[in-house]
């Protein structure tokens, strides 16, 4: 046997070593790639979970934005309903901003180009709007929320009624009042029907007559119980009611005033004047309280009572479960103590500059102010029996760099911050979800559609990444030390039609 066949030559050994090294390097590279891919995939999944959590947080509130405000057709009307919270220029106080167009309640989208967004509420926020789309990186929502352990159900719906025990103690002249009303109503029917139709009453066809009579009757009471008494509540001026011959306003007011001995100057401080007014208005409400055709005017009457008397709770909605003591008197109200309504109250009156004083219901279509035993209706819409009071809440969400406190507690990445309107002031800025680099929102004011994008990360790696094609917001300037190019990112998106708002809502 040839001796050379007994082993490998040096060349063969070196060749085998090179081949083995090549395979080892290739396998190492594949292994590194697999490890890197797995790590990046895990970071992507983490980023996705973080972004989705933010979308879910926003979703649960956007769906309730504007709930119970279907009657308010403009942002300016919502600002008006919450006037003590939207007027003035005090930082950190409610919905205040020098530019009222920023306060597009119930959804506000504003822009702040700082890395650390100002936390003084809406005071320094700016608005960017083009082509009827408002764009920004700060989202503020006004929404309704149920009480978690209490249910505020309206016990006395409709327009507030006088309690039965009060009705039995009314003065005798309440009976006389009914007769006077009937006489005047008969005159109103014929007189105003002829005025409206511009025809003699006897020439009007019977099928047309009833419609005209009803319309004129309703119009008369609307004018009398709004313009008529509102003017009279300042100072009774007989000239106001003399513009039309035989004006029935004059006849009605004279009947009231003469019966009760009310002075023509309603602002008189005389005790007798005050008592006469109380008696007159109480009887007037008693009549209206039992006549469906006029009870829609109870809110106007009760609002007129306030400057002159303190018995308006007699005409309030009973909306809380009552407990009685041995003598039958109301001892306390179960739900009210410990509620946010109570926290905002002072001397049993809701504080109108405190968001916790406000509630919304399905029936009114606008906010109401909650006192201990009653509701203060901002508008004159009915409250439905069985309806539920819901708290009004407001929150701002935005992305910020972590604070020293955040870093000490393991949150090294930028995170989503939540700031709530705590009654009167914007509260602390609290971290909600770390790993949120940016949020970006667009409010389409033509179609009332809100779209929110969330740029989240699962961490950094050594590779550079391009700006995601589906991310419309800030990606930082190229070369910025804080650029996001080394972050593994994910873009989450949510789109909502604001269905709680009336059709053709105006964002003014």
389-430: pLDDT as tens digits = 899 999 999 999 888 888 888 888 899 999 999 888 899 999
What is the DSSP pairing of strand 390-400 with strand 138-145?
A: antiparallel
User: What is the per-residue pLDDT for 259?
Assistant: 60
Contacts for 184-191 with beta carbons within 8 Å, 24 or more apart?
184/248, 184/251, 184/252, 184/255, 185/217, 187/248, 187/251, 188/216, 188/217, 188/220, 188/248, 189/213, 189/216, 189/217, 191/246, 191/248
CB 435 within 8 A of CB 456: yes
User: What is the per-residue pLDDT for 407?
Assistant: 87
Radius of gyration of the chain (CA): 35
Phi and psi at 472, nearest 5°, equal: -90, -5
* Region for 158 from its dihedrals, namely left if φ exceeds 0, alpha if ψ lies in -120 to 50, beta otherwise: left
**Residues of the chain with confidence (pLDDT) below 50:** 1, 160-181, 184, 229-245, 248-249, 304-315
Maximum distance among all Cα pairs of the chain, rounded to whole angstroms: 146
CA distance 18 to 11: 11
pLDDT, tens digit (0-9, with 9 covering 90-100), for 430-488 = 999 999 999 999 999 999 999 999 999 999 888 888 899 999 998 876 556 667 888 99
Q: Which residue matches tokens 């001892």? A: 331
Number of residues in the chain = 508
Average pLDDT in the chain: 74
User: What is the per-residue pLDDT for 150?
Assistant: 82
Percent helix, percent strand, percent coil in the chain, to nearest 5: 40, 20, 40
User: What is the per-residue pLDDT for 251?
Assistant: 52
| Torsion from C-alpha of 262, 278, 380, 307, nearest 10 degrees | 80
């Amino acid at each position: 046997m040839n001796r050379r066949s007994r082993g490998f030559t040096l060349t063969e050994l070196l060749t085998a070593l090179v081949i083995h090294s090549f395979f080892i390097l290739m396998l190492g590279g594949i292994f590194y790639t697999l490890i890197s891919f797995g790590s990046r995939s895990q970071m992507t999944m983490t980023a996705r979970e973080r972004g989705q959590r933010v979308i879910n947080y926003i979703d649960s509130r956007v769906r309730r934005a504007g709930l119970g405000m279907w009657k308010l057709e403009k942002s300016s009307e919502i600002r008006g309903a919450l006037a003590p919270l939207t007027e003035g220029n005090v930082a950190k106080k409610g919905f205040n901003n020098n530019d009222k167009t920023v306060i597009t309640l119930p959804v506000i989208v504003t822009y702040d180009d700082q890395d650390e967004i100002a936390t003084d509420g809406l005071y320094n926020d700016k608005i960017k709007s083009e082509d009827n789309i408002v764009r920004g990186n700060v989202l503020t929502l006004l929404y309704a929320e149920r009480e978690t352990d209490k249910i505020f159900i309206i016990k006395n719906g409709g327009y507030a009624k006088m309690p039965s025990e009060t009705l039995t103690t009314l003065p005798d002249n309440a009976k006389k009042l009914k007769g006077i009303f009937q006489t005047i109503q008969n005159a109103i029917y014929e007189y105003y029907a002829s005025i409206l139709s511009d025809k003699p009453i006897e020439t009007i066809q019977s099928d047309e007559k009833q419609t005209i009579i009803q319309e004129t009757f309703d119009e008369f009471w609307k004018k009398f119980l709004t313009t008529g008494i509102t003017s009279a509540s300042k100072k009774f001026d007989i000239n106001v009611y003399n513009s039309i011959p035989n004006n029935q306003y004059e006849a009605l007011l004279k009947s009231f005033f003469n019966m009760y001995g009310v002075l023509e100057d309603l602002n008189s401080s005389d005790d007798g004047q005050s008592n006469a007014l109380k008696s007159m208005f109480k009887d007037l409400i008693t009549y209206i309280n039992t006549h469906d055709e006029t009870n829609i005017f109870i809110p106007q009457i009760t609002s007129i009572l306030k400057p002159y008397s303190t018995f308006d709770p007699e005409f309030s909605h009973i909306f809380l479960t009552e407990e009685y003591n041995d003598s039958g008197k109301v001892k306390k109200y179960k739900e009210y103590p410990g509620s946010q309504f109570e926290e905002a109250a002072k001397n049993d009156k809701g504080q109108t500059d405190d968001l916790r004083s406000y509630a919304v219901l399905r029936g009114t279509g606008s906010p109401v102010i909650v006192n201990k035993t009653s509701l203060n209706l901002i508008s004159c819409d009915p409250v439905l029996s069985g309806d539920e009071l819901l708290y009004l809440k407001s929150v701002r969400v935005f992305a910020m760099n972590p604070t020293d406190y955040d870093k000490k507690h393991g949150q090294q990445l930028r995170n989503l911050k939540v700031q709530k309107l705590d009654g009167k002031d914007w509260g602390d800025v609290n971290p909600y979800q770390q790993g949120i680099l940016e949020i970006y929102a667009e409010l389409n004011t033509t179609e009332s559609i809100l779209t929110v994008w969330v740029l989240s990360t699962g961490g950094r790696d050594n590779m550079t990444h391009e700006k995601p094609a589906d991310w419309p917001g800030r990606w930082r300037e190229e070369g910025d030390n804080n650029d996001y190019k080394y972050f593994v990112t994910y873009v989450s998106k949510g789109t909502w039609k604001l269905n709680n708002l009336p059709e053709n809502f105006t964002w003014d």
